[in-house]
Structure 1
């Protein structure tokens, strides 16, 4: 019988953040799927996020002995969300409060100075707009057309522009052109741009240190798509002498997309070549120069 961990959250629609959460283990995923959605063909792994109705919440509490009771908070507008905990990818594993889904209360408390949303969901934007109308927040919207060269590769061919929404506290409007300069600086995204952006969001220095080290360890850096390739002992020595700033000058190299959560795939790549001693991880930018 399979087991999986799930998160139940009470989401405050006024402050637009989770105010109560609990994690529980399910020994019969099919039983939980039946409670939430009998038609599971669209989500066979049950990895989506679901709104839980009151009757469904009662059934979950009874079947899995969760004891989740957000009604005791006596909040006027609350939704119950259910999501499967993703191993190795949860922001709950970070040793500080990640701003995601807590942007509004952090800004209202003055702890966050800037928020940016790309193709923001209407309900999220409406939650911020209420505070813009009250004169508490400042909002700016930028729409950037998608380059014609990328149109054939779009999943949704009707999605022809990227809409960015910025919100700041009043008096902090300067952060919007500042972050725009970072994105337009060119040369590829790197850990220095990442740190500057997070400083504008108002993350603390130690939080930025942890995040940058974590990203480098997990995916090899910032910007672009993570790849890997096998190297032998001589290639590894060459990379060490180069300060791990370049790949060895191999006559033939086979690269693979690297997923930090797929350790078995990485192990299999090493096992298939008896000369390989390590996987070199690196990132390639989606941007291409005029000489490509």
Structure 2
């Protein structure tokens, strides 16, 4: 049976919140039969190859993935660590049927949110971009303790140990959250920076996470710049994504972030 990762909650330049995701998907009318097969780099555990496919028989796909209809009725989760047999069966379900390479070990729905973005969005590519020197700073967060989050961060560990990346971990206990979810103590934010770029961590905490004013275009642009997006990329994101949903303004409490 494949492992399952639910959709993360993200707010950052080029990184949508759950409400943003729902609204954009509603306006882009995604094809419910479109999926993306993914292969992963063994060092960074990052997607290194993708193949967009169409599957008409969703009930058969649910059977392959052993999906609980109550847990993921619309197949919106990420399914990875697929076995060779599962990959073979998925290939047979494709329209038209295909013989899939063994490199493909994950499947997820095609995401229309970034389909029209004319630049590379960093989400899920933070580590390789940082190792290539193309991204100076990244932040990932999740509730803690979290075995899934620990596994997600594991590929960063060797590069922190070697000094190629600088890491800072900040835990925010949330008693109200723990009352509702006893197995969660709060939110853990993990910041990564290239050596010499550590100032971005302090600036992000001070200006983004501890901001005292409502979210606006200036903060959106600052957030994008700190994460390594270029000026024109931030301008495009604000004009084509944020302003199309004028009601979408992240609050300080909504900074479940990856970027």
Cα offset, 1:26, TM superposition: 1.3
Distance 1:202 1:221, change over 3 A: farther
Cα offset, 1:162, TM superposition: 1.6
Identify the residue that residue 85 of structure 1 maps to in structure 2: 110
Identify the residue that residue 44 of structure 2 maps to in structure 1: 15
Q: For 1:169 and 1:208, locate their aligned partners in 2 and report how far apart those are by CA, in whole Å.
A: 21
Choose which of 191, 199, 204 in structure 1 pairs with 2:230. 204
TM-score for both structures, normalised by structure 1: 0.66
Q: Do the aligned partners of 1:7 and 1:24 also contact (CA within 8 Å) in 2?
A: yes
Once the two structures are superposed, the pairs formed by residues 205-244 of structure 1 within 5 Å of their partners are 205-220=231-246, 222-224=248-250
Q: Do the aligned partners of 2:38 and 2:106 also contact (CA within 8 Å) in 1?
A: yes
Cα offset, 1:62, TM superposition: 2.7
Q: For 1:33 and 1:153, locate their aligned partners in 2 and report how far apart those are by CA, in whole Å.
A: 33
Cα offset, 1:167, TM superposition: 0.5
Distance 1:213 1:221, change over 3 A: farther
Choose which of 62, 66, 88 in structure 2 pairs with 1:33. 62
Q: For 1:218 and 1:154, locate their aligned partners in 2 and report how far apart those are by CA, in whole Å.
A: 36
Q: For 1:23 and 1:15, locate their aligned partners in 2 and report how far apart those are by CA, in whole Å.
A: 22
Distance 1:154 1:28, change over 3 A: farther
TM-score for both structures, normalised by structure 2: 0.74
Q: For 1:61 and 1:190, locate their aligned partners in 2 and report how far apart those are by CA, in whole Å.
A: 45
Q: Is 1:134–2:162 an aligned residue pair?
A: yes
Q: Do the aligned partners of 1:8 and 1:21 also contact (CA within 8 Å) in 2?
A: yes
Structure 1: runs of 5+ lacking an equivalent: 72-78, 226-284, 288-292
Classify the secondary structure of the residue corresponding to 1:119: strand
Q: Is 1:49–2:66 an aligned residue pair?
A: no
Q: Do the aligned partners of 1:46 and 1:84 also contact (CA within 8 Å) in 2?
A: yes
Cα offset, 1:215, TM superposition: 3.0
Choose which of 53, 59, 83 in structure 1 pairs with 2:89. 59
Once the two structures are superposed, the pairs formed by residues 240-255 of structure 1 within 5 Å of their partners are none
Deviations, residues 193-240 of structure 1 (Å, cap 9, x unaligned)? 111111111101111011111233332155248xxxxxxxxxxxxxxx
Structure 2: runs of 5+ lacking an equivalent: 1-30, 144-148, 255-259
Identify the residue that residue 176 of structure 1 maps to in structure 2: 201
Identify the residue that residue 109 of structure 1 maps to in structure 2: 132
Deviations, residues 162-208 of structure 1 (Å, cap 9, x unaligned)? 21100111111111111111122311222111111111111011110
Q: Do the aligned partners of 1:13 and 1:127 also contact (CA within 8 Å) in 2?
A: no
Distance 1:144 1:80, change over 3 A: same
Q: Do the aligned partners of 2:178 and 2:185 also contact (CA within 8 Å) in 1?
A: no
Cα offset, 1:103, TM superposition: 0.3
Root-mean-square deviation over aligned CA pairs: 2.6
Deviations, residues 119-140 of structure 1 (Å, cap 9, x unaligned)? 2711121111111011111101
Query: Which ranges of 4 or more aligned residues in structure 1 deviate by more than 6 Å?
Result: none
Identify the residue that residue 185 of structure 1 maps to in structure 2: 211
Between structures 1 and 2, the one with greater strand share: 1
